[in-house]
Amino acid sequence: MLHSTAPAPDTEFASHPPNFTAPNPTRETLLRAYRLMRTADEMARLYEENKAVTAKYVHATARGHEAIQLAAAFHLLPTDYAAPYYRDDAMLLGIGITPYELMLQLMAKRDDPFSGGRTYYCHPSLSRAGFPTIPHQSSATGMQAIPATGMAHGIKYLEGQRVQGSAADYSSSTTDAAPVVLCSIGDGAMTEGEVSEALQMAVLHQLPIIYLVQDNDWGISATGREMRAMDAYEFASGFKGLHRLRVDGADFSASYSVMSEAFAYVRRTRGPVLVHAKCPLLGHHTSGVRREWYRGDNLAQHTPQDPLPRLHQQLLLRSFTKRELEQAATEAAALVRADYERALLAPSPDPATFADHEFAPQAVTEEAGERTPAGADKVLMVDAALHAVDDILREFPEALFYGQDVGGELGGVFREAALLAKKYGDARVFNTPIQEAYIVGSTAGMSAVGAKAIVEIQFADYIWPALNQLVEELSKSCYLSNGQFPVQALIRVPIGAYGGGGPYHSGSIESTLLTIRGIKVVYPSNAADMKGLLRAAFLDPNPVVLLEHKGLYWSKVPGTEDAKTIEPAAGYVLPLGKAAIAQAAAAEQLRRGNTCVVVTYGMGVHWAKTASRQFPGQVEVLDLRTLNPLDFDAVQAAVVRHSKVLVLTEEPLMNSFAESLAGRIQRTCFQQLDAPVFTLGAANLPAIALNVDLERQMLPNPTKVAAALQELLEY
């Protein structure tokens, strides 16, 4: 066993004291490990013997990895958090999950405790008293590292705040129960860029997390030599402040001692550890990629390292009798067989529940608070957002705000977080590295431990590195955990073109976001709505992306004066999913049938209002405000009132949300329409040019909107 410590950023995080001795497993622990190792072996054997049934859905087993997984599991406490990966069924047995429960997931049964039959074997989501908490993680390789690090980040923050009832509010007066996050990962996944982002933040903030790297030299059919220039232990040496340990992951006693050391280090120092465990791969990569297709003689090379016979021999040398071990093996086999027969008979999910848990129930369902308090001044949209965040940070100690350049002196490139860091401290409002994936993905971990993150992507054009996390970890969590782990996250994204921002600071991305199920997308057009919707987005228990048009922030663009409004009082809130009539048509024009409605949002509201001055009283402007959930009832009601519709967007029109909405209106409101549904958007080009004249040519504007309105009204 080799271990060393990388230089730490502070002496407080030095290695364990010289007199530290990692404990050896007790006789009781050894027998428990042997029984569970036998159980895992019997499960793998049974799955192979009955593959016509068990391989209906893809699964992997722990064969070869059982020793290190059980060693890790035996050190997890109910106060801890874990992010296992798909080969960790022995780890789950080690924390007390039964073979029956695992088999319910294997066969996608109704009573699968993790997902209700919605996700793969060994993809746990567990919120159960007396067990470590296991939030949802996806199958995407290496993606669990960021949410797991976000858990540790949230715990560290809450410990500093001592928020009552949070993950960090453990009752022990010592560090014995201080929460630890265990992130289990394969060595091949360590090459993912997002893993590096996680490690960077773990050492930068000295977070209480153990990265357990199980290295079996394979990534499906690719060998370690093909995938990496160094293993995870060597790679981790580049992260200053990351304590590193190596262990023979097929030796239970050695693994137990090293995991004891790792957990003790993190509980005491609150800093990160990486454990590199070498393991044989004795089973298939998964049931769908069988070992005989590609491994050749390699399996014979791995078999002598099988942890089960090694532990068997060690126990005989420790004076365990053959009879004791045979009895443990017999009991394990009987349990596995009995649980399998029970699982076969267990009911399947009710198909009627297929759509349950897309979202957790919405927190805000009615408008509340004062929208136009007496004596209040008008406020710019950017300041309304700033004040809303300020109110939240003052009211909710579990809230924090982070992203690129939002902390420190600057307070955001648009000054949308001005002075918040000075007011609330660097632990609550802080800058991150240029790591969009971490900014977004960490919110899943924050949410799981009780922290409530407001984060910012600096420009919409830079959100793409975060899509892995947004899609795989945030959007699917509530649905695939059967409602156990909705992700509360508010993701602020400045968006839109504004006077020569060029190709990387002007883009509109709402249509891409709206193809992601399980997230909400909000797009205010004025200061009052910004303040009310931002608060509702924060209070919502689901992931919310708040799109904030840069051209509306200061009302400097001609025609956007109405974006500046009377400032609502603190606590004002608007429910998500409710459209508003930003401008009504005149009753007389409506009676004569001379009207139309513009369905739009964001900058489109102001283009439409400006253009409508050429058609007094003839144009209603419906501001959607929230794009998902969409207030289609309000859209239908507007269509019935006017029978002529223009859907207006700033995005390139082809294959956009606007075209989709127009198609839906055409389909559902066909009999009420007196004209085809008109659409107007930006030119179908890959980027917005830097030159302002080229930008103007590409985008909609009031003149273009007026031309469309005239054609529509005259149709």
**Three-state DSSP string of 615-675:** CCCCEEEEECCEEECCCHHHHHHHHHHHCCEEEEEEEECCCCHHHHHHHHHHHHCHHHCCC
Same fold: 31-345 with 378-566: yes
Report pTM: 0.93
Cis status of the peptide bond prior to 629, with omega within 30 of 0: yes
- CATH for 31-345? 3.40.50.970
- The β-bridge partners of 20 are none
Cβ within 8 Å of residue 466, ≥6 positions away: 436, 437, 439, 440, 441, 457
CB atoms inside a 10 Å sphere around CB 704: 15
The helix/strand/coil state of 406 is: coil
Q: At what angle do helices 436-449 and 145-161 cross, to 10 degrees?
A: 60
Tell me the chain's radius of gyration from C-alpha atoms. Answer: 29
Cα-Cα-Cα-Cα dihedral of 36, 40, 43, 48, to 10°? -160
Q: How many CA atoms lie within 13 A of 449 on its CB side?
A: 37
Cα separation of 211 and 183, whole Å? 5
Give the type of residue at 426. Answer: D
pLDDT for res 24: 87
Q: Which two tokens stand for residue 196?
A: 């590096």
DSSP 474: I
Cβ within 8 Å of residue 610, ≥6 positions away: 559, 702, 705
59-73 per-residue burial string, b: 16 or more CB within 10 A, e: under 16: bbbbbbbbbbbbbbb
Q: Which two tokens stand for residue 546?
A: 């708040």
pLDDT for res 612: 98
**Which regions in the chain score pLDDT beneath 50?**
1-18, 172-173
For the chain, give every domain's residue range.
Answer: 31-345, 378-566, 580-714
Could you tell me the end-to-end alpha-carbon distance of the chain, in angstroms, rounded to an integer? 81
pLDDT for res 6: 35
Displacement of CA 90 from its chain's centroid (Å)? 26
Cα separation of 212 and 182, whole Å? 7
pLDDT for res 2: 39
The helix/strand/coil state of 598 is: strand
Give the type of residue at 312. Answer: H
Token pair 């917005």: residue: 688
* 537, 546 contact by CB (below 8 A): yes
Is 590 exposed, middle or buried (CB count within 10 Å of its CB: 0-12, 13-18, 19+)?
Answer: middle
The backbone torsions φ and ψ at residue 198, rounded to the nearest 5 degrees and listed phi first, read -65, -45
Cα separation of 474 and 471, whole Å? 6
- CATH for 580-714? 3.40.50.920
Catalytic-labelled residue, pool 153, 505, 549, 642? 505
Cα separation of 491 and 521, whole Å? 10
pLDDT for res 5: 36
Is 505 marked active-site?
yes
> Is 378-566 assigned to CATH 3.40.190.10?
no
